[in-house]
Amino acid sequence: MTIGPGEEVPRSFTGRTAATEGSSSSLGTICTAVSEAAPSAQSWPIRAARDRNEAGNTAGIAAAVEGVDEKDEEGREVAGIKRARFSVRCHEEDTPWSKLEEELQEKIISRLPITSLYRALMSSKAWLEKLNSRIFQREISTAASKWPVFCPLHVNNKGLIGYDNDSLQWSKLFSFQHIPAGADRPALELCSGAGSLICFARNKTCQKKGMSWVKELGIKEGGIADMKQMAFFRRKDYWVRNSRMSMALLEQEFDIYVTNVLTKQWRLLTPRPKMQRPHIIHMTRTKSGGYSVILLTRIELEGHVSSSLASVCAQIYDSASDSWTVDSAITSHFQMRNSLFAYSDNTIYIMCLNTCKAYNLEHRKWNDIPLPEAAVSVAMAQMHSGVVVCNSSVMLVMAWNGVYAPGHPVKASSNSKASAEVVVYNLDQSLQEFVQVSRGPPDLMKEASEAYIDVIAGHGDYIYFGSRYVPGSPVLKYNIRSQQWSSFPPAFKTASFHDSLENLHWANFAFQPGLHPFAEV
């Protein structure tokens, strides 16, 4: 399924469905909701019922398939062009579902694909309540091992949109509408996930009406900073006092939320020692069956501008103890970006301007890994780089748009505009250095000339390259085992700059709902 930039998440994905309007628990009702997803989502009992209808029992089920132009709310064409819609209507008194035992019904529902299962549960209040049943949870957990992994993953305020590399399709997944409205929208670039759990940061400082939770940090107590003084502070961490057209130093505080998108459970984590906006957030499962949330925050030192000296503070939340621990901060000049880090073997790797920082969570120790010369000799405006993890290997990726990368054989003799070019390095753990393993895509690959790369993601055997701001730019895919390049259409065929900000954020993790689908928050 492909999605238009302004298209709403279907009602069955929002929680505001028939589940809140009625309590019918018939499997016939479930079939209707599941079948409306797509013909490919039909399960064997639905097909069997349709065959029964075709054999002569026309009163039981009616089906129709139609081709529909895929367009968003504003009428713009969306990639995919045609979508099949399949509808089934079942009558309670004349269907095989009413004759099935409840245990068998649960087995059938639990074996549906993840997107169809969610539609089914949202269509009936009674079935949604069955998620509290340990027996039903075990049935679903057994089948969940076959659920796909979604990467790349778009995160927006309505929910998740993920790419399934097995079916080669984008799918609308879960929504966040069960999270109560807060002071501000979630900071979408500050989210992470572990199995069915998603965590994200939310700014609690600025309210739509008035400013509560505000602490004034003026140059003097209660003072106001002018523009010259304001240069010493990071502007995005402060707010403009519009009524007086002056800058007030208003410290922002960010809450951390955790939610299970399948069960709709959520919680606000206990306040941490330092509530500033985190620069990096990562979530991981623990050996005890709980989870940890790791935050890295770059804190400006008094008297230094944002590009100068700062301290980096690590805060780690443990769900078992419901508490935060704070690591001793280091002082450094390096800049951090959330999209340029990776996690592997209890270590966070952070891509910086002139080095790669590695922070070991077990030993609470920082380490520097030198970057290849090409990564520090080229203007960052010409290159997008990042660190990803593929099959436990830490990979450094550098992508150039419209210019030849250093070392390209025709760079010196050609003035023509080059297509996107990527250089991939693998981290040699014994030597603690990056070794080049690939350069691509092939010059004759048409999609490479049409692609613009400003976002990177990795999972399994694949590294994905896409664009957040260039409408229709194809997604390039590189297989690290076969060293083969391919491409596929983006989730959104057209997108305005506003749509890009709202919808096209690439998450820094792969969504794996089949891992611990009923994990407690």
Between residues 433 and 4, which one has the greater pLDDT? 433
Q: Which of 295-299, 413-417, 509-513 has the lowest mean pLDDT?
A: 413-417
Q: Does 161 reside within a domain?
A: no
Confidence of residue 250 (pLDDT cuts 50, 70, 90): low
Q: What is the mean pLDDT of residues 73-86?
A: 38
Q: Does 490 reside within a domain?
A: yes
Residues 333 and 217 placed together within one structural domain of the fold: no
Q: What is the mean pLDDT of residues 320-330?
A: 87
Residues 407 and 468 placed together within one structural domain of the fold: yes
Residues 40 and 83 placed together within one structural domain of the fold: yes
Is the pLDDT at 67 greater than 50? The verdict is no
**Cα separation, 322 vs 375, whole angstroms:** 41
Q: Give pLDDT tens digits for 477-501.
A: 999 999 999 999 998 776 555 555 5
Confidence of residue 188 (pLDDT cuts 50, 70, 90): low
Q: Give pLDDT tens digits for 37-48.
A: 443 333 333 333
Q: Give pLDDT tens digits for 355-413.
A: 888 999 888 888 899 988 766 655 454 678 889 999 999 999 988 876 544 444 444 44
Task: Supply the pLDDT for residue 502.
Answer: 59
Q: Does 36 reside within a domain?
A: yes
Is the pLDDT at 246 greater than 80? The verdict is no
Task: Supply the pLDDT for residue 43.
Answer: 35
Task: Supply the pLDDT for residue 466.
Answer: 87
Strands (E), 96-216: 150-156, 159-164, 169-175, 186-194, 197-203
Between residues 102 and 76, which one has the greater pLDDT? 102
Is the pLDDT at 140 greater than 70? The verdict is yes
Task: Supply the pLDDT for residue 124.
Answer: 76
CATH number of the CATH domain containing 277: 2.120.10
**Cα separation, 489 vs 129, whole angstroms:** 38
**Cα separation, 383 vs 171, whole angstroms:** 30
Q: Does 451 reside within a domain?
A: yes
Task: Supply the pLDDT for residue 61.
Answer: 26
Task: Supply the pLDDT for residue 47.
Answer: 39
Q: Does 227 reside within a domain?
A: yes
Q: Give the percent of the chain with pLDDT over 70.
A: 59
Amino acid at 352: C
Instruction: Give yes or no for a contact between 115 and 81, defined as CB atoms under 8 angstroms apart.
Output: no
Q: What is the mean pLDDT of residues 187-210?
A: 75
Residues 220 and 190 placed together within one structural domain of the fold: no
Phi, psi dihedrals of residue 358, rounded to the nearest 5°:
-120, 125
Q: Does 164 reside within a domain?
A: no
Domain that holds residue 248: 205-252
Q: Which run of H or of E encompasses 475?
A: strand 475-479
Confidence of residue 249 (pLDDT cuts 50, 70, 90): very low
Residues 282 and 339 placed together within one structural domain of the fold: yes
**Using CB atoms within 10 A of its CB, is residue 435 exposed (0-12), middle (13-18) or buried (19+)?**
exposed
Number of domains observed in the structure of the chain: 3
Residues 239 and 101 placed together within one structural domain of the fold: no
Residues 5, 7, 8, 13, Cα dihedral to 10°? -90
Mean pLDDT across the chain, nearest whole number? 70
Q: Does 444 reside within a domain?
A: yes
Q: Does 518 reside within a domain?
A: no
Is the pLDDT at 59 greater than 70? The verdict is no
> Which residue from 175, 183, 178 is spatially nearest to 201, judged by alpha carbons?
183
